[in-house]
Amino acid sequence: MKELLELYFSFFRIGLFTFGGGMAMLPMLTKEIVEDKKWATNEEILNYFAIGQCTPGIIAINTATFIGTKRRGAVGGFVATLGMITPSLIVILVIASVLSKIMHYEIVGHIFVGIRVAVAALVTESLIGILKSGIKDIFGIVFYIVTLTLCLCFDLSPICVVVLGVVVGVTRIKLINKEKRK
């Protein structure tokens, strides 16, 4: 019970301080889940993101369900996800009606611009951490640059990227096996 509550409130905090799309949750996720609670490693989070890219649903929800399920089974998955969506429910239901009115004040606009700049700095820091733990050798560096270039030049969709990763991963293992047999 105690751990379920912990799961709920950890993801409540993450939901409350995610401003923007799914990846904006990364700084809070690494702080709460990887550094403080040690419920998952950076590598596991990368795994969850990879699966989340090609399964139905929002990445933030998928990631919360994964970590919750890892800690406390299916119930944990539900509880963590509920924690993640509660702040949205409260904020949107209570504040959104007010917010749409106060959005017209200039200072509110400036505050949100400031928050976005801060989020940019946080996401950059998380990105560096994630790349450090996800890219371990020359294969990783090359494949990272290749995928990034493909995405930037040809607008490759996330699902295509994941499929490419699966194909390359399987091929790599097959090649390694062949080497060994020789």
Q: For the CA atoms of 170, 176, 178, 182, what is the dihedral angle to 10 degrees?
A: 180
Least distance in angstroms from the C-beta of 48 to other proteins: 8
Give the DSSP H or E segment for 107: helix 106-134
Among 8, 33, 61, 72, binds other proteins (CB under 8 A): 61
Tokens of 76: 């944990």
Considering the rule CB under 8 A, would residue 4 count as an interface residue with other proteins? no
6 versus 87: smaller Cβ distance to other proteins: 87
CB of 180 to other proteins, least distance (A): 11
Q: Which amino acid is at 169?
A: G
For CA atoms 39, 44, 48, 53, the dihedral sign is positive
For other proteins, the binding residues in 99-138 under the rule CB under 8 A are 99-100, 103, 106-107, 110-125, 127, 130-131, 134-135
Closest contact distance (angstroms) between CB of 32 and other proteins is: 9
Q: Which of residues 135-154 bind other proteins (CB under 8 A)?
A: 135, 139-141, 143-144, 147-148, 151-152
Q: What CA–CA distance (Å, rounded) separates 80 from 73?
A: 11
Contacts to other proteins from residues 12-51, by CB under 8 A: 13, 15-28, 31, 35, 43, 46-47, 49-51
Write the CB contacts of 140 (distance below 8 Å, at least 6 apart in sequence): 134
